[in-house]
Structure 1
Amino acid sequence: MKELFEKKQWSGYVFILPSVITLMLLVTYPLLYGIYISFFNTNLLNQWDFVGFSHYVEIFRNLEFVNRIVLTLKFTVATVGGHVILGVGLAILLNRKLPGQTLFRAILILPWLLPEVVVGLLWKWIFNPMYGLINHYLIKLHMISEPFSWLSNISVAYGAVVIVCIWKGFPMLMLMVLAGLQTISEDLYEASKIDGCSGVQSFRYITIPSLVPVLLVSLILDTVWWFKHFTIIWLLTQGGPANETNIVSIDIYKSAFDYFEFGKAAAMAVIVLFVCSFIGYIYRRMLNRDND
């Protein structure tokens, strides 16, 4: 009996072993290796000069990196805020029994299904000053007299990038909120009508409290994802014009592959890791408080 129990106990470890090995190779090892690189001045081949925490000291002494963090936070807040407004609003509409509901759901989820590379190249073509659709229709409607360079203009490039990122990411939050809305019992709304509650009161005292756990998880996941985002912004502007869209992930890429400062780039990535971990910590605290 004891031998049978021990076999069953070890069989569980055998089943999870492939997943553990995969995570160690694809997540844990690259993470630890990146932290290791941050303590060296290296070209990753034959130069490994140990510099300790000097990269971190240099980064925090440089106000440009702090400005990149601030810009990244602004970008994240604007993008996630747009996701909340669009996602919650559309989820509420799709939760109603309207004609063509299934078709609209399929259309609205398309941006999320498209790869980020496709989205970046698609919008770069739309914003193109010579043959882009936006300039074409604005000229046709006599709203502008000549082609406008949307991604090269300092005053509008940042806003254009944010719009593209909002368009790409809102379906995720929309689906999460829609799933949360469909778990709310109709009996609660019927009871509120009997008690004389208006639609606004039902939304405030039933819908919002019921959606708080879903919204909390969605917001944290969305915030972490877009804080470290790279692909779409790189394809659209490569951090320009004049560093207006040069968020921290772009700065890390340029440090590593343009200036070959791999140690410094790794140190910046470690700082981003701590920022994302701090966001996760806030999430756990808020979730535990909500459960209490």
Structure 2
Amino acid sequence: MAAHRLVSPEQPVLREKKNSGVRYALRAAAGRRMAGKHWLALLGAPRESFGSARSERAQRVFEVLEQVVADYVAPAVDESVLGAKAGPDAGGDGVAPQGAAVEGPAGVPGPSQTQLQPTDDGPPAPVTPASTSTSTGASSVRAESGAACGQLLPGADAPAWEGMPLHLRQLLRGRAYHLVTPVQGKLKQKENRRLLSAVRAAGRMRITGAQWLMLMTAPREAFGSPRSLRAQMFYEALEQAAAHIEPAGDQDTGARLQDAAAG
């Protein structure tokens, strides 16, 4: 529907020769005949290829594409990267074939390694004022910033994230909607696009474990200025959710006790 509205009639920018691939892909989307090449053309196109900065129709198409990345592309890429134990460049090449320029909704960086520190069985990292990560197993991560700062959180695939109470998810949904309607401040910056996708997923109550971790460990300033009431209310909702999550260590202990009782 968003594509149909954008090409009926077409905006001037879509008639430019350099945007012919985007124009054909939008027509395919409007006709429900999208092939892989059409997806790549749309997901790799910069925002300005769809229309002017003031075009609400162009913005709507771009936001739908960001939802596609957040709900389908990013989780699939993350899963393939984890399964293949790929190298450090895998996160940037997983959305498009080698050599394809990705600048649009799919051109997002991976989670900040300074915010999430996966724990392992290796030697503990030196403790500094900016790092307090400990080694407790690959199924948990230490939050070094954000609403869950200092907590040992379940891993991205842990079932604990699915058990978040409905009232907390509903609270987060309402505040996420207000935070990104419209998008303002740092969330508009390209490097925060993945965080923006996580906020939008919260607004749809369809948050993955990886997105929960991203939201829980993002610093307060990533959501808006200190004067932003909307950013503050969203952050407070995250703090409430973080307080509900059972520490990963307690989950492991509980599981062992249940197994012992069953035995």
TM-score where L is the length of structure 2? 0.25
User: Which structure has more helix as a fraction of its residues?
Assistant: 1
Higher RCO (CA 8 Å, separation ≥ 6 residues):
1
TM-score, normalised via structure 1 length: 0.24
Larger Rg: 1
